[in-house]
Structure 1
Amino acid sequence: MPGASVQSSERITLRTVEKEDIRFIQRAMANPELRYPIGNRLMNQTQLEEHIENDDSDRFLVCLEEGEASSEQPDEADVTRIGEVAVMDADWKRPELGYWLVPEVHGQGYGTEAVSMVIDDTFRQYDTPAIGAEAYDFNDASRGLLESLGFSEEGRRRKFMFINGAHRDMVQYGLLRDDWREER
């Protein structure tokens, strides 16, 4: 069952990732429609559980909920998990965002909404002048999401990873706190 509500909007709720959510995350990440565009290696449930347990990232489960969003534990039937947003390395360097949504909800604005909520939360919680993110050069949807939120391209790691039969470039993005405030 998803954890406590961290933040809600009219359409989505960000909840803490709990052990019970690992099966959803593992199955979603095994889907080639997600795995290839974000470049994650395939992990079984145990490997993913160990990875999440040993990782100090802030992880948020993106959920659709029936009825009023609550900080209490919702009924399982009332929650639809649709993705995850993570903030990595925030305690010791510039925070880096990672995010994904299940393909069935792509193009409906949930990603922009969830990532925007996490950016707000990150700037509130951490005294950082900027947030970073990365997207592969072929992942137009992810790059478009970042650019629509005010991220600027800061660099490119050429032929960064071998994905789906080809070496792919990784595009690095950054968003300054001051630019985020001006946009909002």
Structure 2
Amino acid sequence: MPGPRVASDDRVSLRLAESEDIPFLQRASADPDIRYPLGNPVRSREEIDVPGDGDTFVVCLEDDPAASGQPADDELRKIGQVSVMDADYKRPELGYWLVPSVHGEGYGTTAVSLAIDYVFREYDTPAVGAEAFAFNDASRGLLESLGFSEEGRRRKYMFVDGAHRDMVLYGLLRSEWDCA
């Protein structure tokens, strides 16, 4: 069961990841529908730190996201992860994934928006960053729809699906985000 809710709206909540969530979080490195777009290696249970170097959140659908407290297991559906890395010593970098069964339903945009609000609320940082493979049109579209600007490209950055792939770097300034 994920930990306390950090942020929510009427569709999605971000809850702190806890050690009990490791099997779910490990899915990102074991499911090829998630791992290939990420480029992550398969990681063992011991290699997944929760809590780790940063803020790791489980993206959840709840029967009543406005209710306080801890929902029962049957009132909570885990659908992904959002992480905020390096916020304590340089510009925070967002990472995220959702289970394939909810792709295209807008949950990613909502979850990443909640994470951006969290970063600007919790950290005194002028900007937040993210990366997406050049071939990952969905992730790039999500970032661009939220106002991220392309800041650079790491050419032939990682070997994925039999070829070296470019990584596109994105940034969003605090002044560009409506923190209301």
TM-score by length of 1: 0.93
Cα-to-partner distance string for 1:135-172 (whole Å, 9 max, x where unaligned)? 00000000000000000000000000011211000000
How far apart are the structure 2 equivalents of 1:72 and 1:8? 13
Identify which of 130, 137, 140 aligns with 2:137.
Answer: 140
Cα-to-partner distance string for 1:50-83 (whole Å, 9 max, x where unaligned)? x345x32111110011235444222111111000
Q: Which residue of 2 aligns with 1:17?
A: 17
Identical residues among aligned pairs (%): 63
Structure 1 counterpart of 2:155, which letter?
R
- Secondary structure of the corresponding residue to residue 178 of structure 2: helix
Residues 5-154 of structure 1: pairs in structure 2 closer than 5 A:
5-48=5-48, 51-53=49-51, 55-154=52-151
Give ranges in structure 2 of 5+ residues lacking alignment: none
TM-score by length of 2: 0.95
How large is the RMSD of aligned CA atoms in angstroms? 1.5
Structure 2 counterpart of 1:99, which letter?
Y
- Secondary structure of the corresponding residue to residue 14 of structure 2: strand
State yes or no: 1:181 paired with 2:178.
yes
Give 1:180 shift. 1.1
How far apart are the structure 1 equivalents of 2:3 and 2:124? 26
Q: Which residue of 1 aligns with 2:152?
A: 155
Cα-to-partner distance string for 1:104-139 (whole Å, 9 max, x where unaligned)? 000000000010011011011111111000000000
- Secondary structure of the corresponding residue to residue 181 of structure 1: coil
Structure with bigger helix share is 1
Give 1:29 shift. 2.9
How far apart are the structure 2 equivalents of 1:76 and 1:163? 36
Contact map agreement 2:61 2:78 (CA 8 A) in 1 = yes
How far apart are the structure 1 equivalents of 2:36 and 2:99? 13
- Secondary structure of the corresponding residue to residue 10 of structure 2: coil
Contact map agreement 1:4 1:71 (CA 8 A) in 2 = no
Structure 2 counterpart of 1:107, which letter?
G
Give ranges in structure 1 of 5+ residues lacking alignment: none
How far apart are the structure 2 equivalents of 1:14 and 1:181? 19
How far apart are the structure 2 equivalents of 1:181 and 1:16? 24
Contact map agreement 2:53 2:86 (CA 8 A) in 1 = yes
